[in-house]
Amino acid sequence: MRRVWWPAAFSLASAMAGAGELQDDLRARRARVMDAIGPDGMLVHWSAPVRVYSRDVDYEYRQDSDMLYLTGIDQEGTALVLLPGNKTKKSILFVSDADPRREHREGHLLTKPEAQEASGVDEVRLASELDGFLTSLMNRQPIGERRAEYTGEYDAFFDALKAGKARLALVFGRRPGVKDELPRAFEFAERMRQRVPGLSVTDATDTVWGLRQVKTAYERAALQRSTDISADAHRAAMRATKPDRFEYEVEAALEKVYLERGAPSWGYPSIVGSGPNATILHYNRSTRRMKAGELLLIDAAAFHGGMTADITRSWPVSGKYSKEQAELWRLVLAAQEAGMKAAVAGNRTADVEKAAEEVVKAGLLNLGLVTDASSKQHRTWYTHGICHWIGLDVHDVGDYRRPLEPGMAFVIEPGLYIREAALDALEDTPENRAFKEKVKPAVAKYRDIGVRVEDSFLLTETGLVRLSARVPRTLEEIEAFMAGRD
């Protein structure tokens, strides 16, 4: 179902009064990165590679998120150079050369004026010029001009090179393992170090990712819009849920909403798990026939306008929660509520995690699923963290140690998964043997139930906003929605 994503975002701009134009936002993002790099620095960044599906068929192209963040360009074979010390051409984009044969096969390639208009950069050049451009630059030669005509455009960087102060800034991102091959940025850094004596290399990851962590007005509006599509998809999935249907039939109803609303893709593969499949965190087969009396857990969201929300609900296949399902659903809701209360500016996500965890511990003790609320027993059923950033990526970049501030977007997603296999996997100690023996009746009662409630939130200047409020959430809301279908 996936297409290149950006056109949807373009049409967003006009639809979002007050949110500002995308191109203004892109310019402001680059300006902040350039402030951090300084006039002695140069940033180089590349588009993502195309990924093979099978033989000569590729997966639909997914642009590198930082390239999207800095340029809005979703075309492969693109590179961005930022030279903050330049006089007028501080941002230079390199796009694929025109190629009529390729364009007849694959579609239109952005022309220079189109790329300039879409990204708002100062100058657009052809991708075939990039190597020569960098070589001239490093040799302190005018680029594409005679020496006599040189205007001093690159003087700040040339002076930095001459003084041995020039810095190459790259968004290195995740460090590769000792045995991994060197990713592109690391290889490029190595080649440049070898070829340009005196050039130092700096890591711009924290700069770019730090900016991405706090959403602009444009991004906030785009995230709300993307979340709305995902919320409507969840509602369609609730409507399509019926005993004896296959999980994939509900997935079809869900993802059809993405496509018909212009979202080019999911933000992550849909998780549609009924009965025991709800206890598998990233279950992705969707091949089971669901039965009356079971829960269906759906964790799914679209990628739209460059933003991915993240939403999970567990609803009853036949419309009514059983007593045990209701108890677990109410418990994760209460944990989420506690987390929401702790999600205030100045706190950290660890405070959100802690507040929810206390509720879960007490609740599990109450249900007989743990025997000691001060121990780590609850981790048998409560198996993952509940906060992550959202944005261009579903697990978006950001520093967890940074206090919450307005503009940060994240999920709160407590879940409980009652799997007998989790007991079997416990280390064989006297404490664990006693624990297993005592919780046996409760585990039998709640066995194979998986519940997770996950909403997408934005912290604003006036408090926490639940972006996914449109999806029924409490037991009463969900049962009423299921009863009112058709």
Per CB under 8 A, residues contacting a copy of itself are 1-4, 7-8, 48, 51-57, 59-60, 62, 64-65, 100-101, 103-108, 246, 248-249, 251-253, 255-256, 258-260, 262, 264, 266-270, 279-287, 383, 392-395, 397, 417, 419, 421-422, 424-425
**167-170 and 200-203 strand pairing:** parallel
Measured from the CB atom, is 103 or 145 closer to a copy of itself? 103
The span from the CA of 72 to the CA of 215, in Å, is 15
H-type helices in 197-322, by residue range? 205-212, 217-240, 247-260
Q: Closest approach of Cβ 6 to a copy of itself, in Å? A: 9
Tell me the one-letter amino acid at 53.
Answer: Y
Q: Closest approach of Cβ 258 to a copy of itself, in Å? A: 8
| Helices 6-15 & 22-37 angle (0-180, nearest 10) | 110
Q: Closest approach of Cβ 436 to a copy of itself, in Å? A: 15
Phi, psi of 246 (to 5 degrees): -85, 150
Measured from the CB atom, is 452 or 473 closer to a copy of itself? 452
The span from the CA of 288 to the CA of 292, in Å, is 13
**Which residues, 6 or more positions from 278, have their beta carbon under 8 angstroms from its beta carbon?**
295, 296, 297, 314, 417, 449, 450, 451
Measured from the CB atom, is 64 or 153 closer to a copy of itself? 64
Q: Closest approach of Cβ 138 to a copy of itself, in Å? A: 23
Q: Closest approach of Cβ 424 to a copy of itself, in Å? A: 8
Measured from the CB atom, is 61 or 154 closer to a copy of itself? 61
Measured from the CB atom, is 424 or 476 closer to a copy of itself? 424
Q: What angle do CA 255, 384, 316 make, to 5 degrees?
A: 50
The span from the CA of 254 to the CA of 230, in Å, is 8
Q: Closest approach of Cβ 398 to a copy of itself, in Å? A: 12
H-type helices in 139-204, by residue range? 155-162, 184-195
Measured from the CB atom, is 252 or 334 closer to a copy of itself? 252
The span from the CA of 271 to the CA of 129, in Å, is 44
**Which residues, 6 or more positions from 354, have their beta carbon under 8 angstroms from its beta carbon?**
342
Measured from the CB atom, is 87 or 376 closer to a copy of itself? 376
The span from the CA of 262 to the CA of 258, in Å, is 6
Measured from the CB atom, is 7 or 198 closer to a copy of itself? 7
User: What's the Cα-to-Cα distance from 299 to each of 10, 238, 269, rounded to whole Å?
Assistant: 27, 12, 9
The span from the CA of 435 to the CA of 418, in Å, is 15
The Cβ-side half-sphere exposure at 238, using a 13 Å CA radius, reads: 26
Q: What angle do CA 52, 253, 259 make, to 5 degrees?
A: 50
Q: Closest approach of Cβ 230 to a copy of itself, in Å? A: 15
Q: Closest approach of Cβ 292 to a copy of itself, in Å? A: 20
Measured from the CB atom, is 62 or 378 closer to a copy of itself? 62
Q: Closest approach of Cβ 2 to a copy of itself, in Å? A: 7
Q: Closest approach of Cβ 109 to a copy of itself, in Å? A: 11
User: What's the Cα-to-Cα distance from 292 to each of 236, 247, 295, 382, rounded to whole Å?
Assistant: 19, 13, 8, 26
Measured from the CB atom, is 40 or 249 closer to a copy of itself? 249
Phi, psi of 175 (to 5 degrees): -75, 135
Measured from the CB atom, is 90 or 234 closer to a copy of itself? 234
Q: Closest approach of Cβ 10 to a copy of itself, in Å? A: 9
Q: Closest approach of Cβ 70 to a copy of itself, in Å? A: 15
Measured from the CB atom, is 53 or 400 closer to a copy of itself? 53
Q: What angle do CA 392, 226, 486 make, to 5 degrees?
A: 145
Q: Is the dihedral of CA 95, 100, 106, 107 positive or negative?
A: positive
The span from the CA of 354 to the CA of 7, in Å, is 41
